[in-house]
Chains A and B, each alone.
Chain A
Amino acid sequence: MLNYIFGGMIVLSVICAIATGNGESLADGIISGAKSSVELLVTMSGMMLLWSGIMEIASRGGFTAVISRLLSPLLMRLFRNVPKDSKAMNCIGMNVSANLLGLGNAATPFGLSAMGELKKLGGEGDTATDDMVTFVVMNTASIQLMPTMVGVLRQSCGSAQPFDILPCVWISSAAALTVGLVIAKVLR
């Protein structure tokens, strides 16, 4: 997919530049684009490293498990076919909690084992069960307390208060998740 997008973007811009006589600014654009992408990486690297370090402390202390316990009443309501205290429920809880904390790298392995467990519960075949759909929809809608990447990017681009958007992010993602889950339920 990205292969076509990347190729398409470049071919389209070259054709467009020739057609509109923007050749010179296109050449400048290539150089400044490559340069500014590296500048961006350097400016955001400090915060990225700091944040990864802080979150490693959280994850070694078992912060994810604490959040997972808090969420379990809610999750049990969403996944009625999944037994309480089963491995599937545990993996789902850890995946959702890790996502909530912005630990994407930690969330994926839990999510993959949750899918494996859900498949055991839901019989064989190549068709998704209702619980699988619900679970993947939860993972396609981001529920994050602290969107670090966005905050860091905003700061490197000169924002006065990079995290002033947090309430908006929380409201929007909660709304998006709710709509996703409702639709997943309605279309069953």
Chain B
Amino acid sequence: MQLFMPVFIAVVIIFGAVKRVPLFDAFTCGAKEGIRTLLSIAPTLVGLITAVEMLKASGATELLCSAIKPLAAALGFPEEIVPMVLLRPVSGGGSTALLTGIYRDCGADSFAGRVASVLAGSTETTFYAIAVYFGSVKIKKIRHTLAAGLAADLTAAVMAVVTVRILFNS
């Protein structure tokens, strides 16, 4: 898997060269866009990571987790990721903040860290996507979209635990 990224980059570069894209010009132009993306998520991350850190320092997270713990344990779910499962469909920035919290508390290569990463990588901010797409064409009756979207999110959460368990023997 370590080779996936270098090979992917090589494929893109060769593809660009074949298509006569000015490689370095395009690269710098895209990287400039990257700065803009980074700046646009900075305020969200600072606000939400601080808020998450406050919840942890105050002992509130511990209280909340101890309430959910029995249920999570019964389902074989790492309790640390329960808040993230709940926040993920609602806020991309919020779940990123929780994700870094899990990395710091449990380690990026721990079981909970891996499950949280898979969850973050295999789901989207469901409510946001629904609001943006239906809002753009003034659709108000979205019928069963939310049910299907949330079912997909739940599947991703379960599959994150299952796949990490199987593929990492943990």
B133 contact set on A, CB distance < 8 A: 111-112, 115, 132, 135-136, 139
Q: Which residue of B lies closest to A61 (CB)?
A: B19
Q: Which residue of B lies closest to A137 (CB)?
A: B148
B139 contact set on A, CB distance < 8 A: 119, 126-128, 132
Which positions in A face B, CB cutoff 8 Å? 1-2, 5-6, 9-10, 12-14, 16-17, 20, 22, 25-26, 28-30, 32-34, 36-38, 40-41, 44-45, 48-63, 105, 108, 111-112, 115-116, 118-119, 126-128, 132-133, 135-137, 139-142, 144-147, 149-151, 153-155, 157-169, 171-173, 175-177, 179-181, 183-184, 187-188
Complex CA gap A28/B141 in Å reads 47
**A127 engages B28 (CB within 8 Å):** no
Asked whether any CB of chain A lies closer than 8 Å to the CB of B63, the reply is: yes
| Closest chain A CB from B41 CB (angstroms) | 8
How many residue pairs at the A-B interface have CB separations less than 8 Å? 352
* Interface size band for B: 35 or more
**A1 engages B91 (CB within 8 Å):** yes
**A5 engages B94 (CB within 8 Å):** yes
Complex CA gap A119/B90 in Å reads 26
Complex CA gap A145/B55 in Å reads 34
Complex CA gap A61/B23 in Å reads 10
**A173 engages B145 (CB within 8 Å):** no
B26 contact set on A, CB distance < 8 A: 53, 56-57, 60
A-B contacts, 15 listed (Cβ < 8 Å) = A30-B53, A30-B57, A36-B53, A37-B97, A40-B49, A53-B31, A54-B12, A60-B26, A127-B141, A140-B89, A157-B100, A168-B160, A172-B159, A181-B148, A183-B147
A187 contact set on B, CB distance < 8 A: 143-144, 147-148
B113-150 to A contact mask, C-beta < 8 Å, 1/0? 11001111111101101101110111111111101110
